[in-house]
């Protein structure tokens, strides 16, 4: 089960991994906590009055197309997008949004989903949310609660479903310096212009802000070979047409370069209730030996 804040997050973080496991016969569920109602329209071609007026419905339809491309199941857990507050000082979050829902209440639908779907592995964000969007941070928090609470019959007894304990929980490490250095160097080796120069210019400032916030740089414990599914990932991303333009910088590095320089999707093993040896190349390491997937 991959737990995400908004539709499109599943296609930018861990999509090739999900596509690979799905095609290998693993049941995969994306749990999307909000509908992305307050998201921006980032593709100018989609900036039309009818799209703006029905953004929630449009994003649900985009999610359905991406789900089909990835070959996974997906469900919305019913919370309202908090939006990304900007400015100095930042404005207050809107009433009723996901980030303001009390944690015990916000975790309840995810606990119910875990008990129903019964995943062995849970994928989510680290404590920084991957980037400091309030919905991403809240997604981390509810995932941590659900990992523990879903197995405890004394917690959330009114939800129904038998208690269920996931065996491993991972944090996505989709955007880290080592990966982009490798892609940058491979582009230069091939005599191509690198799209990552600007990223490196911003990296030091980003690292400073993370340090000030007390967020750690997490170790990559698990590298899942997924290069054969990078095209599927990109197709799923493009299905979120309000969020990703075909000419976006997301697609500036050719897939063949990515496969040569960094053919894995990367994770940090945050919790494990089974024995496993690090580093791993499989999210189910230690699980395959004791259960039937």
Q: Quick check: 265 pLDDT over 90?
A: yes
Q: Quick check: 210 pLDDT over 70?
A: no
Q: Do residues 4 and 139 lie in contact, with contact meaning Cβ atoms separated by under 8 Å?
A: yes
The Cα–Cα gap between 236 and 233 comes to 5
Question: Mean pLDDT for the chain?
Answer: 94
The pLDDT tens digits of the residues spanning 125-158 come to: 999 988 889 999 999 999 999 999 999 999 999 8
The pLDDT tens digits of the residues spanning 163-190 come to: 999 999 999 999 888 999 999 999 999 9
Q: Quick check: 293 pLDDT over 90?
A: no
Measuring CA to CA, which residue among 94, 75, 63 is closest to residue 28? 75
Residue ranges per structural domain of the chain: 2-174+263-272
Average pLDDT over residues 62-87: 96
- Tell me what percent of the residues of the chain surpass a pLDDT of 70: 97
Amino acid 151: pLDDT: 98
Average pLDDT over residues 110-138: 95
Global model pTM greater than 0.85: yes
In eight-state DSSP terms, residue 74 is E
The pLDDT tens digits of the residues spanning 10-46 come to: 999 999 999 999 999 999 999 999 999 999 999 999 9
Amino acid 86: pLDDT: 87
Sort 62 into a burial class: Cβ within 10 Å, 0-12 / 13-18 / 19+. Answer: buried
List of residues 6+ apart from 107 with CB closer than 8 A = 141, 142, 145, 146, 149
- Tell me what percent of the residues of the chain surpass a pLDDT of 90: 83
Q: Which helix (H) or strand (E) covers residue 222, if one does?
A: strand 222-225
Amino acid 267: pLDDT: 98
Tell me which fold the domain 2-174+263-272 belongs to. Answer: Rossmann fold (3.40.50)
């Amino acid at each position: 089960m991959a737990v995400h804040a908004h539709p499109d997050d599943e296609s930018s973080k861990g999509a090739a991994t999900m596509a690979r496991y799905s095609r290998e016969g693993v049941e995969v569920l994306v749990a999307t906590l909000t509908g992305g109602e307050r998201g921006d329209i980032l593709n100018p071609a989609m900036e039309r009055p009818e799209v703006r007026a029905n953004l929630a419905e449009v994003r649900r339809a985009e999610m359905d197309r991406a789900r089909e491309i990835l070959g996974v199941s997906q469900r919305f857990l019913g919370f309202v997008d908090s939006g990304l507050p900007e400015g100095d000082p930042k404005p207050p979050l809107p009433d009723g949004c996901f980030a303001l829902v009390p944690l015990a209440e916000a975790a309840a639908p995810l606990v119910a989903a875990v008990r129903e779907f019964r995943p062995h592995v849970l994928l989510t964000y680290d404590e920084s949310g991957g980037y400091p969007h309030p919905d991403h941070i809240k997604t981390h928090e509810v995932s941590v609660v659900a990992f523990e609470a879903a197995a405890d019959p004394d917690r959330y007894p009114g939800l129904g479903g038998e208690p269920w304990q996931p065996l491993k929980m991972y944090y996505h490490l989709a955007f880290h310096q080592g990966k982009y250095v490798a892609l940058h160097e491979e582009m230069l080796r091939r005599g191509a212009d690198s799209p990552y120069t600007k990223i490196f210019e911003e990296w030091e400032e980003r690292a400073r802000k993370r340090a000030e916030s007390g967020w750690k740089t997490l170790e990559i414990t698990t590298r899942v070979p997924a290069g054969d599914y990078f095209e599927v990932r990109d197709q799923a991303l493009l299905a979120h047409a309000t969020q990703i333009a075909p000419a976006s910088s997301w697609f500036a590095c050719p897939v063949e370069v990515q496969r040569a320089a960094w053919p894995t999707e990367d994770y940090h093993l945050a919790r494990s209730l089974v024995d496993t040896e690090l580093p791993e190349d499989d999210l189910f390491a230690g699980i395959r030996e004791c259960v039937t997937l």
